[in-house]
Amino acid sequence: MAIPLSYNFRNLWTRRLTTVLTIGGMALVVFVFASTLMLAEGLQKTLVETGSYDNVVFLRKGAASEVVSGVSRDQASVLETLPEIAYGPKGQKLLAKEAVVLIALPKKGSGQPSNVILRGIEEDSLLLRPQVKLMKGRLPRMGSSEVIVGSSIARGFKGVEMDEMLHWAMRDWRVVGIFDAGTSGFSSEIWGDVDQFMQAFRRPGYSSVIFRLSDPSEFQNMKSRVESDPRLTLEAKRETKYYAEQSQMMAKFLRILGMSLTIIFSLGAIIGAMITMYSSVANRIAEIGTLRALGFRRRDILIAFLLESLLLGFLGGLSGLLFASLMQFITISTVNFQTFSELAFRFTLSFEIVYKAMVFSLIMGFVGGLLPALRASRMVIVEALRAS
């Protein structure tokens, strides 16, 4: 017969301070572990959701992001003649030639300037990005110095409220609307007429061309044809893949950072659990002797102490996750190293992270309790009973 679980609960309750401290230490480790994973997850989710699978992006060969890419006007015209382009509701081709530049705007709070993506769009750009929705105001009129601002930019930067004037490239730009693109990266951009931007910034060519495929399975054929065309020094990527690549470096950095921190921290928490369990064994030598004399076997004792330690780990993991889940309400805004521009994203809790964090905390409990439990189970009955 196994030792009842209530024995473990009562024991933890008797030593409340110790129990709380051990659980607290573990909870903090799980918190750090879960938060860094949530950060990397949020970043990736944001950038993956930015793209849609049916869209194709054309960049100059070897260009990692739109900012360093260039597509000349004649190359863009060649792309416009491709037969694979889908048609929109008005019978127009769903294709947009866009220009992307970076400008520096002061952030709210610190006043420090940070880079923001300015995207010159055509009318069909909005049809290509169905996730973009206007929250306030109206769309910019083509051919005028009007811009709309993404919701994350409107929240995080100064001077980008409705009807305010922004000044760059020797012209004043009026904010006529604020758009929301959900959790996608477009929320961290400012949009306006591409021809106006190109003129103002004196750019001879576009940064990228994007269109929707009428049949998504045509992608490979179209890609190999475009990339072997000597007139075009361009590379075709699915939009989803293009944005996923932009999150790679940052997400990897966050994951490595999180992992190495957690490993170091977990050593501390495991030691904490070990100390607790060793003392809980040492304090109960006579008790263990009694249990053995009553007929409980070595295995039962081992299991009972391991269970107690696992219970500690479980409670630690649970409370750590509870705090980590509160982080979901926080939006973090930082510069993505790869695009060199500001990007807002949220801590995102996924089932996988919950699962990983719980497994991790149980492992901490197990490792911390193993040696003390072994010691408890190996005691000789007579000597244990003799201990006061």
Partner 1 sequence: MFFLKILFRNAFRNKLRTCLTILGMTIAILAFGLLRTFINAWYAGVEASSATRLVTRNAVSIVFPLPISYKDKISQIDGVKLVSHGTWFAGVYIDEKNFFPNFAIEPKTYLELYPEFVLPPDQKEAFLKDRKGFVAGRKLISRFGWKIGDIVTLKGLIFFGNWDFVLRGIYRGKDETTDETQFFFHWDYLNEGLKKRGHTWADQVGFYMIGVTQPEVATKVSLAIDDQFKNSLAETLTETEKAFQQGFIAMSGAIFTAIQIVSFVVIIIIMAVVANTMSMTTRERIGEYAILKTLGFRGVHIAGLIFGESLVITMMGCLLGILLLFPAAKIFRAELGNYFPVFNVERETLFFNLVASSVVAFVAAILPTRRAIQIRIADGLRRIG
DSSP structure string for 91-158: S-B-EEEEEEEEEEEEBTTT--EEEEEEEEE-TTHHHH-TT-EEEEE-PPPTTSSEEEEEHHHHHHBT
Tokens 């929109």 locate to 88
Rounded CA-CA distance 211/258 in Å is 38
Query: Which residues ranging from 304 to 333 are in contact with partner 1 (CB under 8 A)?
Result: 332-333
Q: Decide: is 385 part of the binding site for partner 1 (CB under 8 A).
A: no
The one-letter code for the residue type at 308 is E
Q: Is 67 in the site for partner 1 (CB under 8 A)?
A: yes
1 binds partner 1 (CB under 8 A): no
Query: Which range binds partner 1 by CB under 8 A, 163-171, 206-214, 289-297, 356-364?
Result: 163-171
Least spacing, CB of residue 325 vs partner 1, in Å: 17
Q: Which of 104, 165, 380, 381 binds partner 1 (CB under 8 A)?
A: 104
Determine which residue in the list 7, 219, 278, 366 makes contact with partner 1, applying CB under 8 A.
278
What is the DSSP track for 218-283?
GHHHHHHHHHH-TT--EEEEEHHHHHHHHHHHHHHHHHHHHHHHHHHHHHHHHHHHHHHHHHHHHT
Cα R_g (the chain), whole angstroms = 30
Interaction of residue 204 with partner 1, rule CB under 8 A: yes
From the list 28, 39, 35, the residue with the least C-alpha distance to 250 is 39
The token pair that represents 28 in the structure block: 């903090």
Q: Does 165 bind partner 1 (CB under 8 A)?
A: no
| Residue closer to partner 1, measured from CB, 40 or 222 | 40
Q: How far apart are CA 183 and CA 343, in angstroms?
A: 10
Angle, alpha carbons 377-382-385 (nearest 5°): 80
> Is position 77 an interface residue for partner 1 (rule: CB under 8 A)?
no
Task: Mark the segment that binds partner 1 (CB under 8 A) among 122-130, 162-170, 176-184, 303-311.
Answer: 162-170
Q: Least separation, in Å, of the C-beta of 235 and partner 1?
A: 13
Whole-number Å distance between alpha carbons of 210 and 206:
11
- For residue 219, the minimal CB distance to partner 1 (Å) is 25
Among 12, 29, 148, 178, the residue binding partner 1 under the rule CB under 8 A is 29
List the interface residues with partner 1, window 142-161 (CB under 8 A). Answer: none
Q: Is 135 in the site for partner 1 (CB under 8 A)?
A: no
Specify the residue, 221 or 279, whose C-beta has the smaller distance to partner 1.
Answer: 279
Q: Which is nearer to partner 1, 95 or 327 (CB)?
A: 327
Answer for which of 169, 318, 354, 374 binds partner 1 (CB under 8 A) is 169
In the structure encoding, which two tokens stand for residue 338, read together? 């790869």
Residue 263 burial (CB < 10 Å; 0-12/13-18/19+)?
Answer: exposed
Nearer Cβ to partner 1 (86/103)? 103
To partner 1, the closest distance from the beta carbon of 112 in angstroms equals 4
Q: Is 110 in the site for partner 1 (CB under 8 A)?
A: yes
List 78, 134, 142, 261, residue binding partner 1 (CB under 8 A):
261
244 binds partner 1 per the rule CB under 8 A: no
The footprint of partner 1 on this chain (CB under 8 A) covers a number of residues equal to 58
Which residues are registered as beta bridge partners of 134? Answer: 179
Work out whether 113 is an interface residue with partner 1 (CB under 8 A). yes
How would you class 382 by CB atoms within 10 Å of its CB: exposed for 0-12, middle for 13-18, buried for 19 or more? Answer: exposed
Label residue 90 exposed, middle or buried (CB < 10 Å: 0-12, 13-18, 19+).
Answer: exposed
Instruction: Report the nearest approach of partner 1 to the CB of residue 308 (Å).
Output: 15
* Gap between the Cα atoms of 18 and 157, Å rounded: 47
Judged by the rule CB under 8 A, the positions of this chain that interact with partner 1 are 17-18, 21-22, 24-25, 28-29, 31-32, 39, 60, 62-64, 67-68, 101-104, 110, 112-115, 168-170, 201-204, 254, 257, 261, 264-265, 267-269, 271-272, 274-276, 278-279, 282-283, 332-335, 337, 340, 342, 388
